Amino acid sequence: MSTLTGKTALVTGAAQGIGKAIAERLARNGATVIVSDVNADGGKQVVADIGSGAVAIPADISDPASVKALFDEADARTDGVDTLVNNASIVPFVAWDDVDLAHWQEIISVNLTGTFIVSREATDRMRARNRPGRVINISSNTFFAGTPNMAAYVAAKGGVIGFTRALATELGQHGITVNALTPGLIESDGVKVSPHNNAFEFVDMLQAVKGKGQPEHIADVVAFLASDDARWITGQTLNVDAGMVRH
């Protein structure tokens, strides 16, 4: 796989789970990694684990002022973000009858609007520097499966897929590729302490390849999409769930 040496990658929601695995993998491939999360202490710990010049910058992706401050500091401490991984999200477990407007707006604000806010800031700065870039959005295979107890989440992640396609169309002329991944159920820190942890046996029955999905399975694919080997791929949604959903 092509090296990421000389590149700077920003990973949101990187204090644990999939985001942490992505940050670690991109650093191993040579990138300078910016670890961002609302959990400032968790981000600092990930940076300590990674080393390799990684930087921790906390931010709330649903707050434009916080995101601008994130990129201002990133620009001051690096040569600017070349690769953006929109990973941060809230993963709820709420039955439809309990979904009210407040819950809906919270999930959309972080999982969809947050992806827009960070992408807006990142791609504006990429174009200002006149350098090619990568935007990699972490969606979810729940969009294909219509998973219960996650109505707002499924809607938001479906929106991320649509946003990915539209953004790829607009930014291709600037050498910026935009792709999405749809992970299946992953044995991440958050999942292990949620009701979703009880679904692995059922999901395993549906998978073509058996076993529990791990954060590293997603990080491997992100590393490919961030590399020059993926320079001719854009506007795509890559399903990474051991063949649970076949489409």
Catalytic residues: 153
Residue 234 and residue 137: Cα distance in Å, rounded? 12
The count of C-alpha atoms lying within 13 angstroms of the C-alpha of 236, restricted to the half-sphere facing its C-beta, is: 13
Residues 6+ apart with CB under 8 A from 78: 8, 32, 34, 55
Q: Return the C-alpha torsion angle 225, 166, 153, 213, nearest 10.
A: -20
Per DSSP (E only), the strands in the chain are 8-12, 32-36, 55-56, 83-86, 133-138, 176-183, 237-240
Distance separating alpha carbons of residues 220 and 101, to the nearest angstrom: 36
Quote the CA–CA distance of 154 and 176 in Å, as a whole number. Answer: 26
Alpha-carbon distance 163 to 139, whole Å?
Answer: 11
Rounded alpha-carbon distances, angstroms, from residue 190 to 13, 15, 79, 88, 197: 11, 11, 32, 12, 9
Q: In angstroms, rounded to a whole number, what is the distance separating the alpha carbons of residues 54 and 49?
A: 9
